[in-house]
Chain A
Amino acid sequence: MEIKGSYLLPCTPQRAWEALNDPELLKSCLKGCERLEKTADDRFEGTVQARVGPVSARFNGSLTQTDVEAPHRCTMVFEGQGGVAGFAKGSADVTLDEAEGGTRLSYDADAKIGGKLAQMGARLVEGTARSMAEDFFGAFSAALAAERADTNAAASPAPEAATPANAPEVVPASSAAEAKSGPGRAWLVGLAVLAVVLIILWLA
């Protein structure tokens, strides 16, 4: 399954990069996140109690950054185990580009989901991934916007809240064969992905 999206963040790429590597900030933006630790320069581990409707499952996940080009891009390799609920693994490319009004964060993740999540939640996978991405980036942008409002007290008008420039786009599993992203586009970055990742982990 491929999940893509992009968001406009109200800050510079440098600040976005830092924020994406700040476990505390990330944790506060990720609903249900019980633990998020940077266990090595390029590795995060965390636990998320994910809920969708009546379903609730605790995921333990790890995320490793590769091909890092701070503050512009990296590739995240992730893996999460949700016990009886199943597992998710995959990778995501994240880029931060300067854009009018801030920084455009784009992500392109290829995820494999297995176990009960895949077997019983097929109809909900895409919507859940999208809604979790929106929740996370909404909170993340709001946090960055609040920060800017603080430092710039009376300055420019309040930055717009997170703007989903493109709604996240998910290629459902059934058509994954033709939509698989080529290995060539290796970029990226940040931990934002972590969100996306945990999102993915989540599903259904």
Chain B
Amino acid sequence: MYDFTYRRPADLAEARAILAGDEGAQPLSGGQTLIPVLRARLAMPAVLVDLTALDELKGIAAEGGRILIPAATTHAEVAASGTVREHCRALAALAGGIGDPQVRHRGTIGGSVANNDPAACYPSACLALDAEIRTDRRRIAAPDFFSGMFQTVLEPGEIVTAVSFPACRGAHYEKFPNPASRFALIAVFAARLAGETRLAVTGGGTGVFRWHEGERAADGNGDLSEAALDEGRFTGDLHASVEYRMHLTRVMAQRALAKIH
């Protein structure tokens, strides 16, 4: 780890001010990815701005048929939330399956979506459910928010404040975990929204994406085995080849659908 200054702002305004005033400042929201990176000396931010103590970023709420999950909510809190379970059980289950108990008690939804790891769980739920990502300056629809592996449209200093999901009881998250890391080797979030099937895939390697051909097949004869799948979405690594990941995508999607129909 290189030396850095740790800041724990009292409110969002102060956090914004620190981030705006220092190009080397970086938000810290649970640190389940960032801290290991710092320990490996693979990044050297001058200032870390800890967002997890901000009251403005806490407190799950239901509002007008939607669930609002503030950014500093931990995965464990989402998993245990009665509100989330009532309105979208699949989302609570997803949160309860992230990493391990240590990760779930530190990692936050804001950190996860802002990091947009290509194998993270939350981005698939955001995409499948048409979540809205709220920041300190705007509201962004999920499809516009995630722009590539580890990439989002967040501007420098912009802070994710909450993620808003529609209530959706017809949803299921089916994950094939990487045996080592428990990230998704492939996972599919399936949802029925406004009478249509949505399938969002994570773990492919290049970033979360909607599988539109799979969705059409699901709404057609329901058989995904022949639905077109873009090979360009997938990469191989020491755990899984492209071919295997594509196969798992079909299997996970089919299984997820079976659980919501």
Touch between chains A and B, by CB atoms below 8 Å: yes
- Point out the residue from B43, B119, B235 that lies within 8 Å of A126, measured CB to CB: B235
A167 to B236, CA, bound (A): 14
Chain-A contact segment, one of B33-41, B131-139, B165-173: B33-41
Task: Collect the chain B residues with CB atoms within 8 Å of residue A186's CB.
Answer: none
**CB-defined interface of A21-46 with B at 8 Å, one 1/0 digit per residue?**
00000000000000000000000000
Q: A116-B42, A120-B40 are in contact. Are A54 and B238 (CB under 8 A)?
A: no
Closest to B206 in A: A127
Q: Which residue of B lies closest to A82 (CB)?
A: B42
Residues in B whose Cβ lies below 8 Å from that of A57: 42-43
Q: Which of B44, B149, B235 meets A170, CB within 8 Å? A: B235
B interface size (C-beta, 8 A): 30
| Residue B101 is within 8 A (CB to CB) of chain A in the complex | no
A122 to B41, CA, bound (A): 17
Please classify the interface of chain B as helix (H, G, I), strand (E, B), loop, or mixed, using the class held by over half of its residues. loop
Tell me whether B238 and A127 are in contact (CB under 8 A): no
CB of A199, distance to nearest CB on chain B (Å): 13
Chain B: minimal CB distance from A56 (Å): 5
Say if the beta carbon of B261 comes within 8 Å of chain A.
no
Chain B 100-123 interface 0/1 with A at a Cβ cutoff of 8 Å (1 = within): 000000000000000111110000
Verify A130–B43 contact, CB threshold 8 A. no
Q: Which of A75-130 contact B (CB under 8 A)?
A: 84-85, 116, 120, 122-128, 130
Residues of chain A lying within 8 A (CB to CB) of residue B183: 123
B149 touches A84 (CB 8 A): no
Q: In angstroms, how far is the closest chain A Cβ from the Cβ of B123?
A: 12
B93: shortest Cβ distance to chain A, in Å? 24
Partner of A167, one of B148, B149, B231: B231
| A-facing residues in B6-50 (Cβ within 8 Å) | 33-34, 37, 40-44
**Please, which residues of chain B bring their CB within 8 A of the CB of A55?**
37, 42-43
Q: List 14 A-B contacts (CB under 8 A).
A: A52-B149, A53-B117, A54-B42, A55-B37, A56-B42, A84-B40, A123-B183, A123-B239, A127-B149, A127-B205, A127-B206, A130-B235, A131-B207, A172-B238
Q: A127-B235, A131-B206 are in contact. List 10 more A-B contacts (CB 8 A).
A: A53-B115, A53-B116, A53-B149, A54-B34, A85-B42, A122-B238, A123-B238, A127-B207, A172-B238, A174-B238
Closest 5 CB pairs of A and B: A53-B150, A167-B232, A126-B235, A127-B205, A123-B237
